[in-house]
């Protein structure tokens, strides 16, 4: 995995599939969290994960979602799993390690990937473990062609977490 890759979180949160390419940091500190309970919970979860040893766990974006880029926390490490268990009560909606949910997301993201390829994004990858890893050195998520394909495929996958390019 290279640094030009970005993890696209595929979770079961009740959010529409979007790709953000807006300016600014996009983290929770740049917006008000007073009116968004999901964001508030996500901020607390991120703090808990860091307090429990995952020091490079990211802040959520303004929508309460986590964008974990290449080089981010290792979800398979014992420290991550220990912190995840310790922070379970603060887990925001949409974060899951449930094998049934991951399998469901895998199928949905596969449909989405196939649709993106059908609509002109030939290098769009298949999901892995219910998540998408998009090589940004091969795919420009801000291009008109990508946005057109995304619009055509928006309703294909019914996973909730959404897709983010990490620039958000």
Alpha helix segments (H runs only) across 89-143? 99-118
Q: Which residue has the tokens 């490079």?
A: 56
Task: For 112-165, write each residue's pLDDT tens digit.
Answer: 899 999 999 999 999 887 777 777 778 888 899 998 998 888 888 655 444 444
Note the pTM of the prediction, 2 decimals. 0.49
Q: What is the mean pLDDT of the chain?
A: 71
3-state SS, residue 137: coil
Pick the residue with more confidence: 158 or 46?
46
| Structure-block tokens of residue 100 | 């049934």
Angle, CA of 48, 52 and 95, to the nearest 5°: 50
CA atoms of 63 and 61, how far apart (whole Å): 5
């Amino acid at each position: 995995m290279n640094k030009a890759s970005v993890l696209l979180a595929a979770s079961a949160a009740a959010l529409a599939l979007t790709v953000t390419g807006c300016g600014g940091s996009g983290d929770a500190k740049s917006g008000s969290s007073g009116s968004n309970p999901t964001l508030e919970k996500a901020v607390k979860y991120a703090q808990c994960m860091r307090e429990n040893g995952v020091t490079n766990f990211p802040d959520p974006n303004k929508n309460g979602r986590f964008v974990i880029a290449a080089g981010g926390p290792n979800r398979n490490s014992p420290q991550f799993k220990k912190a995840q268990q310790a922070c379970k009560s603060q887990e925001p909606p949409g974060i899951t390690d449930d094998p049934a949910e991951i399998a469901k997301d895998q199928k949905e993201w596969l449909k989405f990937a196939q649709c993106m390829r059908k609509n002109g994004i030939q290098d769009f990858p298949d999901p892995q473990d219910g998540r998408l890893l998009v090589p940004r050195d091969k795919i420009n998520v801000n291009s008109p062609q990508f946005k057109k394909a995304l619009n055509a495929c928006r309703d294909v996958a019914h996973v909730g977490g959404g897709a983010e390019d990490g620039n958000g």
